[in-house]
Chain A
Amino acid sequence: MTAIIEAINLRKTYMMGKVPVEALCGVSFSVEAGDFISILGPSGSGKSTMLNLIGALDKPTSGTMLIDGVNVGKLNDARLSELRLKIGFVFQSFNLIPRLSAKANVELPMSVADMNKARCSKRAIKLLEIVGLKERMNHKPTELSGGQQQRVAIARALANNPRFLLLDEPTGNVDSKTAHEIMSLVHRLNKENGVSIIMVTHDQELARTARRTIKMFDGEIQSDMVN
């Protein structure tokens, strides 16, 4: 198995006014292709900072962050954008574009990646079918339930055949029944389609559904164990 993510002694320091705050204090771990891991921790543990680094949204202050073998810290703005095309981001609050239909939302990352319109459309329909929302593809996010919106967000994250799905509290904004449906879908994608999953959560029950859990506290890894 090859490592899709390799973090070596990651440090991230923010300035709160004039006071430096260490959000990550030398974190190291790796994720193999096809893996399903959860990053668990309470608020302030550094898991959101970790999420931003894994999502190539931010660069570490020191240490090395390799995504698909590429050192994030050494990339310029344009190369970082290209790298993000390989990451399927699923946000806690869905973050769909409200004026676009479900299908157009799924098409958007493909359009960003210069895919032609016909292929975008065909693939968007297929992805919406996988997440069980083909019939509602012309509905706008405001016309969909929270669970449906999250499923559209997952379909969007899968659009460019990402190296891994990065889920930020995927069930944080939905009820328990919908949360179960969403997690079933995520597990199915991992098992049947071989999609690597990295899930950031503060929910211990949810974290236990992953194959491996990295527990974080005060910017450090407390434990890294197989469930």
Chain B
Amino acid sequence: MKTFDILGYSFSTIRLRKLRAALTTLGITIGILAIVAMLTITQGFQVAVTDELNSGLSTNSLIVTPGSSQGGSEGGVTISLDDSGFKLYLNDTSDIQNLSPDIDSVLAVISKVGMVESDYLNSSVHVYGVDYETYARIYSTFDAESGTIPTNPKNDTIVIGSSVSDPDKNGTQFIVPGDSINLVWLNVSARPFENKTYTAQVSGVLGAVGGFGFGGPSDSGVYIPLSTAESFFGTDVCDMIIVKLTNSDEDTIARVTDLIRDHFGNQVSVISSTAIISLLSTVFTTIQLFLFGIAAISLLVAGISIMNIMIVSLIERTREIGILKALGMKSRTVLMIFLGESVIIGFIGAILGIIGGWITAKAVVWVLGSGLIIGTGGGGLAITPVLTPIVLFGSLAFGVGISVIFALYPAWRASKLKPVDALRQD
């Protein structure tokens, strides 16, 4: 019997019991819907988070912070909160620079929390003392949207993040290039505490970077020249050193990481941005597998219902199978007719599930973004569900596959029926 005729016969049996077939198909649809919705949302979330990270990170840079690090360099991310009293100093940058020819440039960062006072606005900010030119070379996002970032800044120059200028993110800039602002810092190391202030001239306002500014420019940061920071904060201790490498090879990252660690007697943490992204990718993969597992359970239930329905159908159609065999139909063809039914049900169910899953994902993202649910509105991340070809074709194959697998036993039983016994059935 030709394949087309087999599928035609299978379809005629499905049409015979439309409601039963529709309910069986619905099981597959719900399972695939859950899988597609969950995977497209988490993949959309992953893309959004990775994009945010990529815009705030430089893939060929390492961030060195004080604190002993444990473990090997394989993971690339070894952060320790252990405070052994070890400190990094500004002049450590030249030592690091000389460690390897793979190091392009080294940047020291002094970071404190301070206040910005202007005519219209007082706000708490992170103050970073950096070398503007090197910082801009490492992070492309250290770029002025308005004003300029001078290569040879004066001592009172300041560059501010977008949300310092426009805290409401509605286009109303409270501080613009050319303004004078007071930078206030409370020195809690001094006894009694000392309030230090100086007036700075705003040279540039950065473009919006996004939520994650790990090491790189942040929307809520203000940037002053390193020498100014050194004298204003009265310290030559830096909070982190950013190392830009000549390339972003994993080998280079691992080698330089080890060199820096060894140089400081394993008393520093060295973090690579690629390692952070890869760690996040691993976390997302785990989450996706977990969610897939949950959704797959519903598909498993659908599969069992297909098996159940097929067995009922087999019992009802025993005589028909006997007739078909008496007419000369081979056992293999009977098997194919039953499997054909499951392929049709699985295919239609999976297609509807994919469409339904995509619509559900869109709806969920819309509801989360609209603030209809308390506490979810106005989140920093704009998530767009992502339907990759793997999810699309994978869920289609999974839906059809589950249907076929669970139909195998009833189909096999049908094919093994002896015509003389089957014809005796009423």
Contacts and interface: CB of A to CB of B under 8 A. Distances in A.
B197 interface: no
Given A57-B326, A57-B423, A85-B328, A111 B12 contact: no
A78 B420 contact: no
For chain B, give the interface size range: 20 to 34
A146 interface: no
Nearest to B323: A95
Interface in A81-124: 81-85, 87, 89, 91, 95, 97, 99-100, 108-109, 111-114, 117
B244 interface: no
A52 B5 CA distance: 28
Nearest to B416: A77
B319 interface: yes
A97 B12 CA distance: 11
A84 to B, nearest CB: 4
Contacts of B323: 91, 95, 97
A51 to B, nearest CB: 10
A100 B11 CA distance: 12
B329 A112 contact: yes
Contacts of B328: 81-85, 87, 109, 112-113, 160
Contacts of A84: 325-328
Interface string B239-277: 000000000000000000000000000000000000000
Interface string B1-24: 110010000001101100000000
Contact of A97 (B5, B320, B332, B423): B320
Which of B323, B326, B333, B418 lies at the interface centre, i.e. has the most chain A CB atoms within 10 A of its CB?
B326
A41 interface: no
B324 interface: yes
Nearest to B330: A81
Interface in A26-73: 52, 55, 57-58
B1 A78 contact: no
B162 interface: no
A130 B12 CA distance: 27
Contacts of A87: 328
Nearest to A104: B12
B327 A108 contact: yes
Contacts of A89: 326-327
Interface residue range, chain A: 20 to 34
B331 A77 contact: yes
B1 A57 contact: no
A49 to B, nearest CB: 9
B419 interface: yes
A30 to B, nearest CB: 23
Contacts of B333: 112
Nearest to A116: B2
Nearest to A81: B330
B326 A55 contact: yes
A89 B33 CA distance: 48
Contacts of B12: 99-100
A164 to B, nearest CB: 14
B420 A52 contact: yes
A34 B325 CA distance: 26
Nearest to A160: B328
A82 B320 CA distance: 18
A220 to B, nearest CB: 21
A57 B2 contact: no
Given A57-B419, A97-B320, A112 B1 contact: yes
Interface string A125-142: 000000000000000000
A213 to B, nearest CB: 25
Interface in B308-332: 319-320, 323-332
Contact of B1 (A52, A100, A114): A114
A97 to B, nearest CB: 6
Contacts of B324: 108, 112
A131 to B, nearest CB: 17
A87 B326 CA distance: 9
Contacts of A52: 420
B326 A78 contact: no
A91 B425 CA distance: 14
Interface string B327-347: 111111100000000000000
Contact of B2 (A55, A77, A108, A114): A114
B325 A81 contact: yes
Contacts of B419: 57
A101 B24 CA distance: 27
Contacts of B423: 57, 91, 95
Nearest to A84: B328
Nearest to A94: B323
A55 B418 CA distance: 13
A109 B418 CA distance: 18
A114 B3 CA distance: 10
B319 A81 contact: no
Nearest to B325: A81
Interchain residue pairs A-B with the least CB separation, the first 8: A85-B328, A84-B328, A81-B330, A57-B420, A109-B327, A58-B420, A57-B419, A95-B323
28 contacts: A52-B420, A55-B326, A57-B418, A57-B423, A58-B418, A77-B331, A78-B330, A81-B325, A81-B331, A82-B328, A84-B327, A84-B328, A85-B327, A85-B328, A89-B327, A91-B323, A95-B423, A97-B320, A97-B323, A99-B15, A100-B12, A108-B327, A111-B1, A111-B5, A112-B324, A117-B5, A156-B327, A160-B328
Given A57-B419, A91-B323, 20 more contacts: A57-B423, A58-B418, A77-B331, A78-B330, A81-B329, A84-B325, A84-B326, A84-B328, A85-B327, A91-B326, A95-B319, A99-B15, A100-B12, A108-B327, A109-B327, A111-B1, A111-B2, A112-B1, A112-B324, A114-B1
